[in-house]
Amino acid sequence: MRFLILFIATFIFAQDIIPIHNVKYNQQKALLGKKLFSDKILSKDKSVACVSCHEFNEGGADNKQFSIGAFKRIDKPMNSQTVFNSVFNIAFFWNGRAHTLQQQALMAITDHNELAITPKELENRLNKNSLYKKLFKNIYHKDYITTNMITDAIAEFEKALTTPDSKFDLYLQKKAELNKQEQKGYRLFKRYGCIVCHNGVNIGGNSFQKIGVVIQDYNMPRGLDRYEVTKDNDDKYVYKIPTLRNIALTAPYFHDGSVKTLKEAISKMGYYNLGIMLKKEDIKDIEIFLNTLTGKKPTILDMP
């Protein structure tokens, strides 16, 4: 009942969708962060890097149900989220346990199932690397590389991972037109109430919600939900609402990666969170609309 009341309140005060805006970042730091993001030196066994779970050619995710971390550990039952446009999120990880990009980077680096390395060991490695010593010295003007500097650079890089100028953004800016089916899908997206949770600049990522607001018999593994942060029993099965930007590129879906297609995700969300059995033609139209949310590749990825 609590989440149904919150859902209704959110519907009344729902935001519109907002085009991506420019985010200021330090390019020199961001390029260092880009190098770190793709370097396996950050993992305990040097087998994976941040990019292993957040691939640039796959919408900032990895298209796997569960990502593989250091020592081939699998972080079941949590599906890796996209790193693209994460700067616009209210918090990080599915349960929002990190409040900043830098905090998220540190948690991923030290997590047992992700990069699994201690801050001290990471510092020792990078301080023995002559190239990193030079690069960090040029930017931070310090002789010793600290974990704080490492995560600061990675966070700066992630600020640059925005995907502007999707067809829908251009439509909102009156620079492009949607075709009839895209327009219909957008109308249905609003009419059915999808926009209640998926709104703002990131079309999600700005609030938490339970899977099964209306129909509460959805059988799934709990995973690391909001309860793990708040210890409030009402927060079991509550997760950060994911962004819908580039959603056509980031299958599989849901926190447990159990949904393989966008059509299935639309159908299940319509039933469990809206209480509606969506018609096949409406699902198709909404999917066509969601395809307009794919933006341009972040420009920093083409920088040397």
**Cis previous bond, 19, omega within 30:** no
Distance between CA atoms of 132 and 280, rounded to whole angstroms?
54
Nearest residue to 122 (alpha-carbon basis) of 42, 38, 35, 39? 42
Taken as a whole, the chain contains a residue count of: 304
Active site residues: 114
Q: What is the 3-state secondary structure of the chain?
A: CHHHHHHHHHHHCCCCECCCCCCCCCHHHHHHHHHHHCCHHHCCCCCCCHHHHCCHHHCCCCCCCCCECHHHCECCCCCCCCCCCHHHCCCECCCCCECCHHHHHHHHHHCCCCCCCCHHHHHHHHHCCHHHHHHHHHHHCCCCCCHHHHHHHHHHHHHCCCCCCCHHHHHHCCCCCCCHHHHHHHHHHHHCCHHHCCCECCCCCCCEEECCCCCCCCCCCCCCCCHHHHCCHHHCCEEECCCCCCHHHCCCECCCCCECCHHHHHHHHHHHHHCCCCCHHHHHHHHHHHHHHCCCCCHHHHCC
Rounded CA-CA distance 149/159 in Å is 15
Structure-block tokens of residue 226: 């909001």
Cis peptide before 242 (omega within 30 of 0): no
